[in-house]
Amino acid sequence: MRRFYFENENSIRIALNDETGIFLFAPTGLGVEFEHEYGDYAGNGFFRRNKFKTSQLEFNANLLFNPNKTNPYYKYRELLDWISSTKELYLVYAPSENGKEGEYYRRVHVKNIEKSELSPDGSLITPIVLLPLTPWFHPSPISIGFGEDYDEAMRYDFYYDDQLIYGTGDGNYHASIPAGGHMPGAILLTFKGTIVNPVVSLIGRKNGKVYGECSVTDTFSATDTFVLSTQEQDSYVKKIKKNSEEEDLIDKLDITKNAFFTIPQDEDCDLRISGGNINGEALVKVFRYYRGV
């Protein structure tokens, strides 16, 4: 059975499958709509597409508050308080029973949520309208391995493994990113440990094309964390110190390089983290974007 959740910026979820008395039903707006404009470029009946874009479809649904599991009015207020306190709200959609591997996210804003009287059985049904801010995306953690020989580095399966490999001295960490998605993807990379002048590169595996390179002039201690996000609406590079203080590193970037690169959807790539005195733990989350799921 399909499943829905709300999730905030801290990965805290509100289940919408009647686990705690809220059930989302009759959803619409899960598909995709394209807009095309054409011109008769030769005047002889042959047409060429001049413009193409994806339209923003509103997501409409009903929320049923089950009186057998909760106080409907209390639960409604609790949900509204939670939504109002979020900085980022995501609609999570699992089209089928496939664990978290089958979950897709979309950042949304609430356009409206209605409230009415209780029905004769004591339940509360509230229509809700959401406005999507992003395509659907599937955030997938991948493993990072350490190795001196980049060209012959071992490729790692596309599964998360918290038993990460460490290294010392100068060298680099590697990850293989398989092709996928309907449009260019993004990464969220964190590296905790020592590194001098970190460089993050994305290289195509067909002909060695460098799709991007984030090069930072800075030194990180064992308690520092280097973070790079190349997401469309949330791109940044920063240092997080032991006391959780954050430092924006935008002024320490090599501006001649494409620091906030995207991942091609039609070519497998290698991601490399390199730098002096590199020794630490690296985690990478790949964001694959889909027009429809």
pTM of the shown model: 0.77
pLDDT of residue 99: 62
Confidence at residue 98, expressed as pLDDT on a 0 to 100 scale: 65
For residues 51 and 127, is the Cβ–Cβ distance under 8 A? no
What per-residue confidence (pLDDT) applies to 145? 66
- Domain locations along the chain: 3-134, 139-290
The CATH number of 139-290 is 2.60.120.880
pLDDT in tens, 230-276: 998 889 999 999 889 999 999 999 999 999 999 999 999 999 999 99
Residues of the chain with pLDDT under 50: 147-169
The answer to whether the CB of 239 falls within 8 A of the CB of 226 is yes
Distance, CA of 132 to CA of 248 (rounded, Å): 28
CA distances from 238 to 63, 80, 213, 226, 261 (A): 39, 33, 15, 6, 16
User: What are the pLDDT digits (tens) for 159-178?
Assistant: 333 333 333 345 678 888 99
Structure tokens at 95: 């089209």
> Residue 153 has what pLDDT?
32
Class for the domain spanning 3-134: mainly beta
What would the two tokens of residue 250 be? 């935008």
Q: For every residue of the chain, which 3-state class applies, written as one string?
A: CCEEEEEECCCCEEECECCCCEEEEEEECCCCEEEEEEEECCCCCCEEEEEEEEECCCEEEEEEECCCCCCHHHHHHHHHHHHHHCCCEEEEEECCCCHHHHCEEEEEEEEEECCCCCCCCCCEEEEEEEEECCCEEEEEEECCEEECCCCCCCCCCCCCCCCCCCCCCCEEEEEEECCCCCEEEEEEEEEEEEEEEEEEEEEECCCCCEEEEEEECCEECCCCEEEEEEECCEEEEEEECCCCCEEECHHHECCCCCCCCCECCCCCEEEEEEEEEEEEEEEEEEEEEECCC
pLDDT at 150: 34
